A and B are shown apart, each in its own frame.
Chain A
Amino acid sequence: MRIPCPYCGLRDAHEFAYLGDATVKRPDPAAPGAEDAFHDYVYLRDNPAGAHKELWYHGSGCRSWVVVARDTRTHAIAGAELAREVTP
């Protein structure tokens, strides 16, 4: 599996560390219902069989966080963008 790092180009997945689902968003700890929101954020996942947006860290490369679009059934990668450029 090779990941198209937006900065470094096509690189082996071995150079990256995996964090997980890129669609979960850290809730506001001061908002009402923050306890439930944090439970959902920390623990619950859609875990889809199919298209998945996920965070990889290019630790052996440019050290950027990358959001990769990958199919969990085939491992086919549709694209990747720098996490800081992804609008949540």
Chain B
Amino acid sequence: MRYSVLSLLANALTGQKSWKPAWRDAAPKPSYDVIIVGGGGHGLATAYYLAKEHGIRNVAVIEKGWIGSGNAGRNTTIIRSNYLLPGNEPFYEWSMKLWEGLEQDVNYNSMVSQRGVLNLCHTDAQRDAYARRANSMRMSGADSELLDQDGVRAMYPFLDFENARFPVKGGLLQRRGGTARHDAVVWGYARAADRLGVDIVQNCEVTGFIRDAQGAVVGVETNRGPIRAGKVGLAVAGSTSRLTAKLDMRLPIESHVLQAFVSEGLKPLIDGVITFGAGHFYISQSDKGGLVFGGDIDGYNSYAQRGNLPVVEDVAESGMALIPRIGRVRLLRSWGGVMDMSMDGSPIIDKTPIPGLYLNAGWCYGGFKATPASGWCFAWTLAKDAPHARNAAMRLDRFRTGHLIDEKGVGAQPNLH
């Protein structure tokens, strides 16, 4: 059923009895043209765009838990395209354009809210760097605006502008950035993919890969039996190395834990997304009223979906340095997600050296905003056996050839990206 005002009214008048499940809980078939491993936003978006853009509908998304149970449900829901480097920015701007049309495209309310993303600067050098970034964004068709201190004051008068160590000097504003409802993104893509014939198979864990005599991947072994496929795409974020270990493939990836936090519900306080430029801290307010915020990764290899207290303290200190008035707000929940931190801080959407195996990984802690473009580009790469221009730089072999996409310029040290 297509969701519309009419379908809402019709159901309201008939006791809400004719709604159907948004997607089928499919059992795995013996074979598919394409199997996507990982039922998060990226995997489901990939399946949707495979079916919609490339007519490949004999597709399964297999997920070891329930869809959206990994990082898609563990992020701070920020969407933006304020990157610097030419290998990244056109990709993220394409993602932003897809966000802007997402709800109409998949016929699902993803609550995309372009409430603006403001990166604060605290020194003259940082302002120069933001000016450079703002120009780079514009060259890729994104919007960007440099604000002086008065401009920031007009938006958020409660920031600690005269902080002795980190005075707020201005900021880089992307008005088209904002937030989206993370679960609804997953559900929207799942429903739209399902309507195009994609099988969504939950509680189906990959335990191994089926290889042919030449070594090509021709399917997966799962706890629900073997499933054969023409092509297998991995979109499993922090668990990528665990799967490729079954193929004796080592990757330029370390898995790290990133924590995020939400406060008790408050009246409207912060109507956009604010990031602190002197530490690592970002904050927005959900539609339920909770302040949603986070900071750095914990900084050590981890597959535990929980972190340690030093980072909690660090995030709280950053928040207090920027917005002293949140000091009396009580923390409601914190959680951790496992990030696939790549060696240059940028993602990988590429074929692998193993025929039949395709890789979507290395999202570090920036995967949510990339969901639409990641799915779109991964679908293109799977369908055409070659990358699109938008993900052409996100190669797996760039670490060998030296064509790194290192936004921060910190080198092969994942916990610094």
Task: State the A residues within 8 Å of B (CB).
Answer: 1, 12-14, 18-21, 36, 39-40, 42-49, 52, 54, 70, 72-75
Number of contact residues on B: which range applies? 20 to 34
Q: Among A12, A20, A36, point to the contact of B301 (Cβ < 8 A).
A: A20
Residues of B within 8 A of A13 (CB): 300, 308, 310
A72 vs chain B, min Cβ distance (A)? 5
Residues of A within 8 A of B288 (CB): none
Task: State the B residues within 8 Å of A (CB).
Answer: 239, 241-242, 245, 250-255, 299-304, 308, 310, 343, 399-400, 412-415
Bound Cα distance from A40 to B239, whole angstroms: 20
**By the criterion CB–CB under 8 Å, are B302 and A72 in contact?**
yes
Q: Report whether over half of chain A's contact residues are helix, strand or loop; otherwise say mixed.
A: mixed
B301 vs chain A, min Cβ distance (A)? 5
When C-beta atoms are compared, the residue in chain B nearest to A42 turns out to be B412
A45 vs chain B, min Cβ distance (A)? 6
**By the criterion CB–CB under 8 Å, are A72 and B308 in contact?**
no
**By the criterion CB–CB under 8 Å, are A46 and B250 in contact?**
yes
**By the criterion CB–CB under 8 Å, are A43 and B412 in contact?**
yes
Known: A14-B310, A48-B245. A40 touches B250 (CB 8 A): yes
**By the criterion CB–CB under 8 Å, are B310 and A52 in contact?**
no
A-B contact sample (17 more), CB < 8 A, given A42-B399, A48-B241, A75-B302: A12-B310, A13-B300, A18-B300, A19-B413, A20-B301, A36-B400, A39-B400, A43-B343, A43-B400, A44-B250, A44-B251, A46-B250, A47-B241, A47-B251, A49-B239, A54-B300, A54-B301
30 A-B pairs with CB atoms under 8 Å apart are A13-B308, A18-B300, A19-B413, A20-B413, A20-B415, A21-B301, A43-B252, A43-B343, A43-B400, A44-B251, A44-B252, A45-B251, A45-B252, A46-B241, A47-B254, A47-B255, A48-B241, A48-B245, A49-B241, A49-B303, A52-B301, A54-B300, A70-B300, A72-B301, A72-B302, A72-B303, A72-B304, A73-B303, A74-B304, A75-B304
A11 vs chain B, min Cβ distance (A)? 12
A69 vs chain B, min Cβ distance (A)? 12
Bound Cα distance from A27 to B365, whole angstroms: 31
A19 vs chain B, min Cβ distance (A)? 8
